[in-house]
Amino acid sequence: MPEPKKGITLIELIIVIILFILLSGFFLWTFSVGLKMWDSGRRRAEIRQSGALAIERMVRELSQASSFTIAQAEQVKFDADLDNDGSDETVTLSISGSELMWEAGAAEMVLASSVQNLAFSYRDLNNTAMAFPITGNERDDIRVVIIALTLSDEDETVILSSGVYTRNQGL
């Protein structure tokens, strides 16, 4: 009787190929999910850092405010001696499209991109919320500015807020 040939059958080969494809698909799917999570975390960190730097600058400059020209929900314009030269610069913080804008004289700069919302609220010396519109002499009573900044990039949204005491104005 002839000895059977050793090797693999077509059925065994097909089963191995199918198992290889299934395992490869599982590993590729796992890798893809990991990459998506990494990219999501990276984007969240970028917009959080951008927003934190913008909030930090706004707080630093608003703390030096000596007077307010405009005090609205989405815009604030104030005078402050930012460069310590003895004369005040007029600074405007506002939103333009999806960018948080900083303006002082002819200088203009984007503080943060991907801005979905910027909101200012104001409190007086008694820590009482001030109602809009804040006009005329009411602007001289502003002692605290509360900033709320929402940044959004694709499916990542970050909300940051801070409050700042302004310089004593007229006290």
Full-model pTM:
0.75
pLDDT in tens, 39-74: 888 888 888 899 999 999 999 999 988 889 999 999
At residue 67, what is the residue type? Answer: S
Kindly give, in sequence order, each residue whose CB lies less than 8 Å from that of residue 73, ignoring residues fewer than 6 positions away.
119, 120, 121, 132
171: pLDDT strictly greater than 50: no
For residue 156, the model assigns a pLDDT of 82
The tokens describing 117, both together, are 């919302």
* Paired tokens of 118: 């910027």
